[in-house]
Amino acid sequence: MPENEGLHAAVAAGVLPAEDEFALLLRSIVVVARAIFGARGSSIFLYEPETDELVFAAVAGDDEQGLVGKRMPSSRGIAGWVLSSRTPLVLEDVQQDPRFARDVAEGTGYVPKGLMAVPLLHDETVLGVLQVLDRPERAAFSLREMELLGLFANQASIAVALLVAARRARSALAGHGDAAAVAALAAAVEALEGERRAAGIALVDALARILA
Amino acid sequence: MTSFALHESADDELPAWSLPRDAAERIPIDNLLPARVDRDWAIGGATGAGISVCILDSGIEASHPLVGEIKSAVNISVDENENPVAADDTEGDLCGHGTACAGVVRALAPDAEIHSVRVIGAGFSGSGSVLIAGLRWAVQQGYDIVNMSLSTTKRRFGDALHELADTAYFNRSILVASAHNMPVESYPWRFSSVISVGSHEEPDPLVFYANPNPPVEFFARGVDVDVAWLGGGTIRATGNSFATPAIAAIAALVLSKHPGLTPFQLKTVLYLISNNVGGEARA
């Protein structure tokens, strides 16, 4: 990474929310998804390019304990197909699929009866997969629900894209001594309030003019 | 292969695409379309016999009772130049989706030849390259119909897919491609050389509609469809993925009865027999 980009990323990282706030954001997405569709559960898998795996990033539902952080191959199962094809799927009676049931049960201990899975697409990139598990049974699924799923997934994708960019910035910062100092300065200024903040910004501004 | 360049220049590799004054009589073409095209003329009694349908997807489960015989099955990977490498596919279907598409085709066109070209399953990282390689390989095989219930959002693949779609069109291979279910830009369904398909909510698999406002050209049954799935069973599924093979199958029916149709003529026939155009032909 060029020096300037590293420093810019460092400044960004210095003022970014902490990782636990991102966890709250992801959890909020699955909680809302669950509520919108009146579903039993919802989950987000994020794609991790380094390992070519899908990682459970957030879960809402009855069986959410211990799932976050679990991994599965990126091309496996329904989530893998949705990721690779970048296409949503809505399935009922998935328990009839023994391989699906086994895969999911191994990962979660819970086999849904039906699921909606939608790719988290941001521009040209697919960031992961959002799943909504076990909607209440209705006479028929409607295209309107499919549209709603797509709209919500688009909104969720923007949030996830911001998260991924922030993590990348933090990653760029790691092991970068000069950038770390700049990030620490940015974080310190960000934490100031009132007059001290104004004075801090004036100090940084003066420093920038001296160094220019 | 017949050349349509009748007035060739000195350099055979650079034919002049023109028609000399005395050459028109050398290219008579029988008009295969009657004065009135209706469903009975187009698909009445047709079974898809003699037509090859390629399912470009996650593979197909062998011996699934709703799919029956699979004429061939290959798994696509890419070499260092991103050219397709086809190997016999012994893994079947890694997801269930390809089996579902094959089952929809079999249900409507029972005598069509079904071929599986697997482009999903080698990991996500190379999936765009493998998709293009798989389509290239399918076009090279000259399948009558290629069902693509998937797309890519990567713009850098758009040009290659566009070129392949046009090559297929001129080679009389019909690409039937799913429109995306979400409001995103993806390919190849947006290209005019393919037949693009979205969903309607009605239960009849032979009911389909022409769209007066493309790029999606036809709507077929795509909601709450009972489809073949892994383990010899079925699943109830929703998505344009499942509407697409319905149109692929209806296209196979038309071609099995009228094998000389060009992709342009076939699309015209589909338009004329669609339920919002054909009128009396409502199923």
pLDDT digits (tens, 9 = 90+) for B100-116: 999 999 999 999 999 99
Tell me whether A190 touches chain B (CB under 8 Å): no
pLDDT in tens, A154-207: 999 999 998 888 777 776 666 555 666 777 777 788 788 888 888 888 888 898
Distant-in-sequence, close-in-space partners of B160: CB < 8 Å, separation ≥ 6: B132
pLDDT in tens, B74-87: 999 999 888 899 99
Q: Is A64 in contact with A40 (CB distance < 8 Å)?
A: no
Rounded Cα–Cα distance for residues A167 and A172 (Å): 9
Residue B123: predicted pLDDT:
63
Interface contact A140-B182, CB threshold 8 A: no
Partners of B223 on chain A (C-beta within 8 Å) are 140-143, 146
Residue B84: predicted pLDDT:
92
Least confident window among A107-111, B58-62, B100-104, B155-159? A107-111
Flag whether B18 is in a domain.
no
Which of A75-84, B67-76, B182-191 has maximum average pLDDT? B67-76
Please give the ipTM for the structure prediction: 0.78
Angstroms from A131 CA to nearest CA on chain B: 14
User: How does residue B283 score in pLDDT terms, banded at 50, 70 and 90?
Assistant: very low
Instruction: Tell me the mean pLDDT in the region B1-29.
Output: 67
Domain at A17-172: CATH architecture: 2-Layer Sandwich (3.30)
End-to-end CA distance of chain B: 39
Give whole-number Cα distances, A191 to A186, A197, A200, in Å.
9, 8, 10
Residue A3: predicted pLDDT:
47
Measure the CA angle with vertex B253, ends B241 and B28; round to 5°.
120
Domain containing residue B231: CATH number: 3.40.50.200
| pLDDT above 60: residue B8 | no
Instruction: Tell me the mean pLDDT in the region B207-236.
Output: 94
Partners of A77 on chain B (C-beta within 8 Å) are 95
Flag whether B2 is in a domain.
no
Closest CA to B98 of B50, B53, B158, B140: B53
Tell me whether A152 touches chain B (CB under 8 Å): no
Interface contact B123-A47, CB threshold 8 A: no
Flag whether B16 is in a domain.
no
Q: Is A184 in contact with A14 (CB distance < 8 Å)?
A: yes
User: How does residue B3 score in pLDDT terms, banded at 50, 70 and 90?
Assistant: very low
Residue A123: predicted pLDDT:
82
Q: Which of A87, A138, A151 is most worth mutating to test chain B (most B CB atoms within 10 A of its CB)?
A: A87
Flag whether B59 is in a domain.
yes
Beta strand spans in chain A (E): 41-48, 53-61, 71-73, 89-92, 115-122, 125-133
Distant-in-sequence, close-in-space partners of A148: CB < 8 Å, separation ≥ 6: A36
Which of A74-83, A141-150, B174-183 has maximum average pLDDT? B174-183
- Per DSSP, what are the bridge partners of residue B146? B54, B175
Query: Which structural domain, as residue segments, surrounds residue B234?
Result: 44-273
Report the domain count for chain B. 1
Flag whether B107 is in a domain.
yes
Q: The whole model's pTM is what?
A: 0.83
Least confident window among A114-123, B43-52, B122-131? B122-131
